Structure 1
Amino acid sequence: MADLLVAYLEQMGVEYVFGIPGGAIEPLYNALARSERRGSIRHVLARHEAGAASMADGYARETGKIGVCIATSGPGATNLITAAATAYDNNVPLLMVTGQPALPHFGRHPLQESSCTGINVLGMFRHCTRYNSLVSHAKQFEPKLVQALQHATRTPRGPVHLAVPVDVFRQPAMVETPSYDLSNLLRPSSLVDDDAVEALRDKLAQARKVVLLVGGGCGEAIHSILQFAGLKGATFVTTPDGKGLVSPQHPLFRGVFGFGGHQSADDALTDPSVDMILAIGASMGEWNTGGWSNSLMNARMVHIDESEDNLARTPMASLHMRGSIRAIFNRLVERIHDIRIGTEVPVEKRSATRDLAAIKFDPDSILAAPHAFTSDAAPIKPQRLMRELSKMFPPTTRFLADTGNSVAWATHYLQPQDRRMGERRLGGGERKRVPGQRTSHGGWLRVTMNFAAMGWAIGGAVGTAMANPSVPVVCITGDGSLLMNGQEISVAVAERLNCIFVVLNDRALGMVKHGQRLAGAERVGCDMPPTDFAMLARALGADGYTIKSPADLEALDMDAILTRNGPTLLDVHIDGDEVPPMNARMRVLAANQ
């Protein structure tokens, strides 16, 4: 039966499975070994099961495919749970397969039992998966697997879990080859409510000034959304998880709204002349609404999303639209084009609406502390570090910002050069992908909202690099996160991945420290002893450099780092007194006192 599971993964084009072996999952490892000998799926050995799930998360965000991670029974399964919850809250499709002892041994205290008669992992996974089931007979396996894959890939997407006893895994499958054609069965829906689109068109026609809020769920639709913004002359802001989908130099961009965001984004939303806010593909949690700020959460909002759960969080919106975001904006773009052709809008006027280069926008103008952004001080200001990271890497780089101060600094100050402003599709509609169009589903910056587990980005960077080894992958993490999950650097060494791990070393749990300071609380439980992370990286087999000033960054041989067949760690000693942009978080904490 394990070979049938592998056959389905091969059918889906999955290239890697991330995990750690054990006795209860051994039949699946045997099947993976046979697949690898055929030149198909390869197993990637993680150092901890949470790291394996984070790698699968990074792989899924980069490829748009489902990420797959596997673990043995008992602690192998429970170690997956935090990463599963992170994927659940961020709508990342994962297939998690765990082993179980043989069915006849249930309830007899076999080694690492985690069935309903032992440490019940199914009960644990119930609240952080879209589908969760024990396969107790070979006849159940194929239909349960297909159901799990459907739940993982339909909206809202997320992780699914199958627990399979070792004796069931060893049974022959009821069929030798897959019965289902998953390419058809899992094809995403492009359904659009035509009446809702017409209602939106009417509201747009009456609106004097429109601002767009681009959320993390806009990945597949971002080209049409940017074209719509250009045709309408509408400025846009993004959520923290939507920032990586757009160019920071786009002339219509007005910053990030929410955690780590910019005052310019708040100003764009509260402009009295704005009478419509199009909120698109945003989960409407604390971090991507500025703590549910009235700047966004008001009756001027039209909320567009594929998820009913997200739409349910905005009862104040004047219109809700559920459907394929890409299909909706393709319709809107086509409609604008048809109207302009039909009414014979003068060519010079039509051209002016698309001449984005004529709009002057300085991305540095929206920063909270521009003096720190250019400071030569040592230890290096974290703002200056983000400036240098933006310049050091090519436009194809994938950045992952870890939970904590890392995501705050990256969200506000990271702005790599990117000349791509969206597709130039005068007629709109569905078109084939052309050279230069983004193919990644995750954008240039990946962050995790809501559940926000520390250390997620370390494994996520490894999975991203496995999925796309042709581009640099930069993980921006903190010293606290690295001490939690830094062992996964060893996987990047073993796989010879060009990952760059940038550690913000302030000898503290930085967000805790600054949160306590800003709240007037006691300083407790946040300080850590000095750690030489560059030496630690070298001990694991990676290159390691200690960075204390901007001059140390400039002295790096970036050509060597970017062409190295292996990871590099930059142990960056930052100014720990610099307060990250976390005012939205502090407002929420203060309101709950």
Structure 2
Amino acid sequence: MQVHDAVARTLSEQGVDTLFGLMGDANMLYITDFVSQQGGRFVPVVDERSSLLMAAAYASARNCVGVATVTHGPALTHAMTGLVEATRGNQPVVLVTGDTPGVASHIQYIDVRAVAALAGAGYERVWSGASAAPDAARAFRRALTERRPIVLDVPFDLLEDECGSDELAARVELAGPHDADEESIDAALGLALSASRPVVLAGRGAVHGGARDTLVELAEHLGAPLATTLLARDLFRGHRLDLGVSGTVSTGVASGYLATADCVLAFGASLNQWTTDRGHLLQNARVVHVDRDAARLNAHRPAEISIVGDARAVAAQLLDHLKAAEVEPSSRSNDTLARELAEWAPERSFTDRSGTDTIDLRTAMVTLDRVLPRERNLVTDAGRSMTTPWKFVHGDDPRGFMHSVNFGSIGLGVGTAVGMAVARPDRPTVAVVGDGGFMQGVVELSTAVRERLPLIVVVANDGAYGAEWVKLAEYGLNPEGSRTQWPHLAGLAEAFGARGYTARTVQDLEKLEDVFADLQGPVLVDLVIDPAASLSD
């Protein structure tokens, strides 16, 4: 067995079934082995940064380690933005690349370890043929336990070296959940039972831990409404006391309750500045914070009680203690809150500012929420338009939601959406992106076409860089300098092999309901909006 065989076999042994990347000298051998000998799937990208975006989306949707691969030198620097995005999103990804051939002044040489460090990623290296399999497996172990990308450096000069053994490293698995200590459980229950306005808050860790039903039962026992972080959005959708997302995109009903909550039981949630709306929400609450990763506890705000543990396991412990102590379910009905939540209507939360030939983005998102298939994934790019779908376009499963805002870069949405569509092909993936971001990432539309993915790209097209439009106006300057001109986007989509449509009215979107219901490949909707129309009232 040669090193390139060992790398491909290690990928398969670690449970990898899909590899995203762009082929070159440094990786063509093990990519070919992975497909032809291990039966894996290789999804070729157009832009190297997209390999990281797709792998990160795949990892998030499947709760696994995603794998990307690029060749050496400029391919690695091209991938840098995607690597930083995945790192700041705490995504367990292995990026397989490698040092250039060991010749003097190789034109594509770059220090792979330094690039990884600059991105905030970890670094591992295959040191020899004899250590190839355990070296590669170590990268998976670190990605899984550290919840961040690890760059695996497989030097070009080692690829055809003999391994000397066919033995592979065992598959890396996370340790199972363990019980929290009794003292912490009792203290947490003391806080929760003494509260008059408690809230049970779930984050992405609760989603991955399968904690929904246990958290619902716990909340009902405590008489507490339920809320989520953005990354766990719609986890409790349909429950009478679902507050929705806590934070900067909360509804008025939810933010009113959360601002006066006196106890929050947070499971698998980081409680960052966006979840707390920069401290405005949950400011009066005493916090019980539960997370598998001790480093995440108290990272953004102090908690009265911090518990290291799995969300579902700790919630089950709390329930068991309540029942063992014969604590009766709370008689708190929350009927007024339930009625306010039921009566809240998104279309009444803003003033529609559609024009004669433009549609208000909020109205468009409310309409899309109605006409899209109920089972769908949602991906958003960074930019002015990103929070609007967060508020108004819902999903049936939070594992199907992802944004590409961790590094604040536009242009990452389409690549991220392709990864989501590969991970969850049983339902359409809806990508909402700005026009500038779309033009930066448009090349990956060809990937979606080639792979025949059920992808709907909705371009919020205001013919300008919208955030800059707003900021220039706030400075009292003429915002026209942020305008730009694009080609006809629907025609551009068709040139890539997708179907393209232009929508200026609610009726234009409603006519696409049948198209959305029977996707035969990617579809683009050019949503024409006015950059001067305010997104807030």
Same fold (TM over 0.5): yes
Q: Is the 8 A contact 1:190 1:324 kept in 2?
A: yes
Map of 1:482-497 to 2, 5 A cutoff? 482-497=438-453
Q: Distance in 2 between matches of 1:260 and 1:209?
A: 21
Aligned mate of 1:109, from 84, 98, 105? 105
Q: Which runs of 5+ in 2 are unaligned?
A: none
Q: Does 1:206 pair with 2:194?
A: yes
**1:260/1:580 contact within 8 Å kept:** no
Q: In structure 1, what is the Cα distance between the partners aligned to 2:472 and 2:351?
A: 23
| More off after superposition, 478-487 vs 135-144 | 135-144
State whether residues 376 and 550 of structure 1, in contact with CA within 8 Å, keep that contact through their aligned partners in structure 2: no
Structure 1 residues 78 and 199: CA distance shift in structure 2, 3 A = same
Identity of matched residues, %: 27
Cα 1:372/1:100, change in 2 over 3 Å: same
For 2:456 and 2:375, how far apart are their aligned partners in 1? 14
Structure-2 residue corresponding to 1:542: 498
C-alpha displacement of 1:397: 0.5
SS at match of 1:138: coil
C-alpha change, 1:189 and 1:209, in structure 2 (3 Å) is same
Partner of 1:133: 124
Question: For this pair of structures, how many residues does the alignment match?
Answer: 532
More displaced, 142-151 or 51-60? 142-151
**Cα distance, 1:505 vs. partner?**
0.3
Provide the C-alpha distance between the structure 1 equivalents of 2:418 and 2:228, rounded to a whole number of angstroms: 26
Inter-partner Cα distance in structure 2 for 1:63 and 1:357: 38
Secondary structure, in 3 states, of the residue corresponding to 2:154?
A: strand
Residue identity in the other structure for 1:55: M
Shift of 1:243: 1.4
Aligned to 1:425: none
Counterpart for residue 279 of structure 2: 293
Of 132, 135, 153, the residue aligned with 1:144 is 135
Higher RCO structure, 1 or 2 (CA under 8 Å, sep 6+): 1
Residue of structure 2 equivalent to 1:499: 455
User: Distance between the aligned counterparts of 2:46 and 2:27, measured in 1?
Assistant: 16
**Cα drift, residue 466 of structure 1:** 1.4
Displacement after TM superposition at 1:361 (Å): 4.9
Provide the rounded CA distance (Å) in 2 between the counterparts of 1:488 and 1:176.
38
Q: Report the CA distance between 1:412 and its aligned residue.
A: 1.8
C-alpha spacing 1:205/1:259, structure 2 compared with 1 (3 Å)? closer
Q: CA deviation at 1:53?
A: 1.2
1:227 lines up with 2:217 in the alignment: yes
Residue 77 of structure 1, CA deviation = 0.9
The change in CA–CA distance for 1:480 and 1:246 in structure 2 (over 3 A counts) is farther
State the match for 1:424 in structure 2.
Answer: none
Q: In structure 1, which of residues 244, 261, 276 is the aligned counterpart of residue 250 of structure 2?
A: 261
Aligned-partner Cα distance in 1 for 2:303–2:285: 5
The within-5 A match list for 1:381-530 is 381-415=360-394, 442-518=398-474, 523=479, 526-530=482-486
Amino acid at match of 1:296: L
Partner of 2:67: 68
Q: Say if 2:30 is the partner of 1:28.
A: yes
Does the aligned pair in 1 maintain the 2:271–2:301 contact within 8 Å? no
**CA-CA distance at 1:413 after TM superposition:** 2.0
1:18 alignment counterpart = 20
| Matching of residue 307 in structure 1 with residue 307 in structure 2 | no
Contact 1:91 1:158 (C-alpha < 8 Å) held by counterparts: yes
Residues 282 and 578 of structure 1: CA distance in aligned 2, closer, same or farther (over 3 Å) = farther
Report the Cα distance in structure 1 between the residues aligned to 2:234 and 2:353, rounded to whole angstroms: 23
Q: Which amino acid aligns with 2:289?
A: H
1: CA distance between counterparts of 2:387 and 2:342? 17
Q: Which amino acid aligns with 2:87?
A: Y
Aligned partners of 1:377 and 1:325: how far apart in 2? 50
Deviations 1:147-188 (A, max 9, x none): 21111112x4121111111121221224314132x1xx4134
Q: Distance in 2 between matches of 1:371 and 1:270?
A: 21
Q: Is the 8 A contact 1:72 1:98 kept in 2?
A: yes
Q: Does 1:280 align with 2:267?
A: yes
| Aligned CA-pair RMSD | 2.9
Q: What's the secondary structure of 1:139's corresponding residue?
A: coil
2:239 maps to 250
Moved more, 514-523 or 185-194: 514-523
1:432-478 C-alpha deviation (Å, 9 max, x unpaired): xxxxxx6xxx5343224542332322112111221222111111111
1:562 equivalent in structure 2: 517
2: distance between equivalents of 1:241 and 1:408? 13
Q: Is contact 2:264–2:285 with CA below 8 Å preserved after alignment?
A: no
Q: Distance in 2 between matches of 1:382 and 1:206?
A: 44
Q: Is the partner of 2:16 in helix, strand or coil?
A: coil
Check the 8 A contact 1:297/1:317 in 2, yes or no: no
- TM-aligned CA deviation for residue 503 of structure 1: 0.5
Superposed displacement of residue 359, structure 1:
4.0
CA distance in 2, matches of 1:408, 1:529: 24
TM-score under structure 1 length normalisation = 0.82
